[in-house]
Structure 1
Amino acid sequence: MATTKKKKSNVGVLPEELMTEVLVRVPVKTLLVSTSVSKPLLSLITNPNFIISHLNYVIKKSNNNPTLLDILDPSTVNSVNLIDNVPELMPQFNGDVGALANWLHNAAAVLYSFQRKLYVIDAFLSGTRHALSSSPVRVSMPNVFGNSRVVGTSCCNGIICLRDHFRNVVYLWNPSIRRCKEVFVPELDVNVNTMSRAKIGFVYDSTCFDYKFFMILCDVNLGSVPLKLKVYSVSTDSWREFQGPVWSNKLEEGKFQRNEYLVVNGILYFTNGDEHQVISFDLPKEVFRVVPFPGFVQRRWSDVLEFEGSVAMAFQSVSGVDIWRLDDDVSGQVSSWTKNFSIETDPKLNTWLSCYLGAGQFYGKKLMNGNMFVYNVLYDWEKKETNYYGLGEDNILATLKYTETLVSLDGFHQVEESAN
């Protein structure tokens, strides 16, 4: 009777399929070290099919075991001595209005800092700390990125987007493999001040397996004008421009806003200033759509969230915030909002939800007076528990929902990390 020979791998005595099943479970740092062990291991681990298999495994794992990444600024001192910053008590201004205004500004800043530290101390004394099933990953911002700031609150398959406003450059960076690429942002054909007011984002379009950076622009000198959407495609290394619906320039007062977009099922969703609506852009079909908020909500308390495969947002309620899910029909042309559950919050501090991590946990911020950051929180909606995260750490530039991957893009080159 003829026997079928199993496909062997040059890596060793195990079949290649079995070796792949083993290695996809290995952390990225260990895999990188393994590439120096032998040429067969290097060939297997750097194979695009293996990288995709590893990515699929870690994404599935992260749904039940969410991880956060803290990006640190090594030049920032962690603690501040409030006593050294207290302004002189009632100095003589001698009619100098500017000096009085400056003193009042400094006094208000010290008062805010003092109030914030009181809330942080109270959180420390409560004894409830972060409850992530895996410890946060920490990495320092490389010096090569200069004054760049992180875009969004999530990575895209392990890739982080950073924006350098001074050089008009975008960096796409995978800290796991210490590689990045630069993308130069084109000159704008509108008011130069628009750049600082533009909404920007970095997304992964699963419909075409492409990473995209986008900018939403409007003329800051006009109240309501049609928006412009500029989209950069990594795969084609090119920009395209789209004309959208009327855009309101106004910023919502008393709101802490940072991440204003996400992509779900190939559709880009973002919010529109103080207008009670979400704008969607179908990436494959290149079609805009406007979706109003639920008619009776008063105020939103979250970014646009991806919750269990759907778009969601948090809105103000009597006891805290309510989570509403946006449900689309099969064609994606009709949407309706459904209230899922409520979160009771401390009336002294507001809760702004930044992203859904998975495994029932939201990541967000506690705010004082509606828009002043106090500290980060993790809320488990299934257990109805709130835990504090990153208390008193002022050297954290950004905290992201993170997946450690081997993903590398065309044009990636090595980048050295900053020394701590």
Structure 2
Amino acid sequence: MGNKMTTTNIGVLPEELLTEVLVQLPVKTIGVCKLVCKPWLSLISNPDFINSHVHYVTDNNNNPTLLDIISPNLSNVVHNVPRVVPINGDMQALHDILHNMFALLRSIEERLYRSWMLNDRDGHDLSSCNVRFDRVVIPSVFRDSRVVGASCCNGIVCLTDDDVVYLWNPLIRRCKEVGVPELDVDSSSGVRIGFGYDSGCNDYKVFRTFWDGDLDSVTLKLQVYSVNGDSWGEFRGPVWGKGNNVGEEKLEGNDFVVVKEILYFSSWDEQHLIAFDLRKEVIGLVPFPSFVLKKCSDVLDFKDSIAVVFKSVSGIDLWKLNDNVWGQVSSWTKMFSIAPDDPHPKLKMWLSCYLGAGQFFGRKLLDGNVFMFNVLYDCEKKETKYYGVGKENILATLKYRETLVSLDGFHQVEENADQYSLTQETI
């Protein structure tokens, strides 16, 4: 007698157990499983399964991913090559010569700083980081668009060309176009666009803020697009008087963050957060701690809480906003300090998002506005790593998570296969 090997037909597993097994697979393997049989295709295509998979990958984010969005149009790459202007005796020629000399000196200064940081330190060695690096070339339909924010929302990337907003899942190669309401160009200023996920009603939302009015009185307006409702709503904030320079805020904001059904974004004065309760539809102001000097990060989603990095007299610290407390200076709690990593006063670190697993992504800036290289900061190990961006025309680098999420109104994006090069390589 011998032992007989027994086999089990996986097709007879209860649906609950099969779901529990499938949601733990890599998302590309799940895509292959859709081809096994019609019942599996039906199960995996079910919105409940997709939501279960999103929750699983969110709760098991031990290897966060950074996604480089690559432009397909190489001619858009800007090369820092000064022009040579002939001397013709007029003041314009002299102005051009001085301008080009300054540009050349600036270019040399940037290269020296990059050489010092990347060649004389081991910061460019990323082998010890638990971050995965991925890349995708955007379809040509998005060629004239810019990426919104520093993070995707459950695998959905937001782009805009001001007239249209695109919601795009690069993994499944599907997108949705959203028309943007027209603005009165004579009275509107400081336009910014954000994107977020409202977990309270399982809805994806696009946000647009702007100032409306004249020099004597301006009103903050917030427009909200709901994917579920396929419609825009508009809300009015406080009125500010003349002299607040409200129209001079930066146009591109990476810091629209939704946490626990409240949208947060920076105000024009860099002294408050503006908060919008998605349920109560009320706009309020959250003051920064009174003793901080300036921001050193975008508004961050740090472990399901709002956080901002501030510089103060004592150093650079990450502060977390306490839950359900608005309008009080004491509502911030200091979490940890970030030790200065170099002695050069011209180089500043700006953190863009919290990836998870103790890792922050940001950039090193020269004089506060010239990009030098990318930064990974490990708050648990207190380590800072640097790496360059190569020669590709990178439009944006996002915190990314692969999902099968497909929104109402999604359609296939037609593009050559080599435009999609999601590699999911672990370094």
Q: TM-score, normalised by structure 2?
A: 0.86
1:204 aligns with 2:197: yes
Match of 2:306 in 1: 311
Q: Where in structure 2 are the equivalents of 1:361-380 lying within 5 Å?
A: 361-380=359-378
> For 1:97-150, what per-residue CA distance to the aligned partner results, in whole angstroms no more than 9, with x for missing partners?
2x3333333333333333223232333322323354242121111101131110
Would you say how many aligned residue pairs link Structure 1 and Structure 2?
A: 400
Which AA in structure 1 matches 2:234?
E
Which AA in structure 2 matches 1:327?
N
Q: 1:95 and 1:220, CA in 2 relative to 1: closer, same or farther beyond 3 A? A: farther
Residue 182 of structure 2 aligns to a residue whose secondary structure is coil
Which AA in structure 2 matches 1:303?
D
**Which aligned segments of 4 or more residues in structure 1 are displaced greater than 6 angstroms?**
77-82
Q: 1:261 and 1:76, CA in 2 relative to 1: closer, same or farther beyond 3 A? A: same
Which AA in structure 2 matches 1:76?
L
Q: Paired residue for 2:143, among 134, 142, 146? A: 146
CA drift of 1:257 comes to 6.6
Residue 213 of structure 1 aligns to a residue whose secondary structure is strand
CA drift of 1:393 comes to 4.2
Q: Paired residue for 2:72, among 66, 71, 74? A: 74
Q: 1:144 and 1:79, CA in 2 relative to 1: closer, same or farther beyond 3 A? A: closer
Q: TM-score, normalised by structure 1?
A: 0.87
> For 1:186-220, what per-residue CA distance to the aligned partner results, in whole angstroms no more than 9, with x for missing partners?
111452763xx311101111111111111101148
1:163 aligns with 2:160: yes
Match of 2:285 in 1: 290
> For 1:27-83, what per-residue CA distance to the aligned partner results, in whole angstroms no more than 9, with x for missing partners?
222222332332122111101111111111111112x2211111111333799887x
Give distance in 2, aligned partners of 1:259 and 1:143.
Answer: 23
Does the 8 Å CA contact 1:365/1:375 hold for their aligned counterparts? yes
Q: Where in structure 2 are the equivalents of 1:2-401 lying within 5 Å?
A: 12-62=11-61, 64-76=62-74, 85-88=81-84, 91-97=86-92, 99-125=93-119, 126-128=121-123, 129-130=125-126, 131-165=128-162, 168-191=163-186, 194=189, 197-219=190-212, 222=215, 225-246=218-239, 248-251=245-248, 258-318=253-313, 320-329=315-324, 336-345=331-340, 346-348=342-344, 349-401=347-399
Does the 8 Å CA contact 1:228/1:244 hold for their aligned counterparts? yes
CA drift of 1:293 comes to 1.2
Give distance in 2, aligned partners of 1:221 and 1:394.
Answer: 43
Match of 2:423 in 1: none
Residue 407 of structure 1 aligns to a residue whose secondary structure is coil
Does the 8 Å CA contact 2:309/2:317 hold for their aligned counterparts? yes
Q: Once structures 1 and 2 are overlaid, which stretch shifts more, 255-264 or 227-236? A: 255-264
Q: 1:284 and 1:156, CA in 2 relative to 1: closer, same or farther beyond 3 A? A: same
> For 1:325-360, what per-residue CA distance to the aligned partner results, in whole angstroms no more than 9, with x for missing partners?
11134x767561222221123242101111111111
Q: 1:224 and 1:114, CA in 2 relative to 1: closer, same or farther beyond 3 A? A: farther
Give distance in 2, aligned partners of 1:14 and 1:180.
Answer: 34
Residue 60 of structure 2 aligns to a residue whose secondary structure is helix
- Gapped runs of 5+ residues in structure 1? 1-8
Which AA in structure 2 matches 1:150?
V
Does the 8 Å CA contact 2:255/2:266 hold for their aligned counterparts? yes
Does the 8 Å CA contact 2:188/2:211 hold for their aligned counterparts? no
Which AA in structure 2 matches 1:65?
N
Does the 8 Å CA contact 1:78/1:394 hold for their aligned counterparts? no
Which AA in structure 2 matches 1:179?
R
CA drift of 1:250 comes to 4.8
> For 1:242-275, what per-residue CA distance to the aligned partner results, in whole angstroms no more than 9, with x for missing partners?
11013552546xx997412211111111111234
CA drift of 1:391 comes to 3.7
Q: What is the RMSD of the two structures over their aligned residues, measured on CA atoms?
A: 2.7
CA drift of 1:317 comes to 3.3
CA drift of 1:371 comes to 1.3
CA drift of 1:178 comes to 0.8
Does the 8 Å CA contact 2:257/2:299 hold for their aligned counterparts? yes
Which AA in structure 2 matches 1:39?
K
> For 1:277-325, what per-residue CA distance to the aligned partner results, in whole angstroms no more than 9, with x for missing partners?
1110101000111111111211111111122222111111357521111
CA drift of 1:407 comes to 0.6
Does the 8 Å CA contact 2:360/2:377 hold for their aligned counterparts? yes
Which AA in structure 1 matches 2:348?
N
Match of 2:424 in 1: none
Does the 8 Å CA contact 1:224/1:249 hold for their aligned counterparts? no
Question: How many percent of aligned residue pairs carry the same amino acid?
Answer: 57
Residue 399 of structure 1 aligns to a residue whose secondary structure is strand
Give distance in 1, aligned partners of 2:160 and 2:205.
Answer: 14
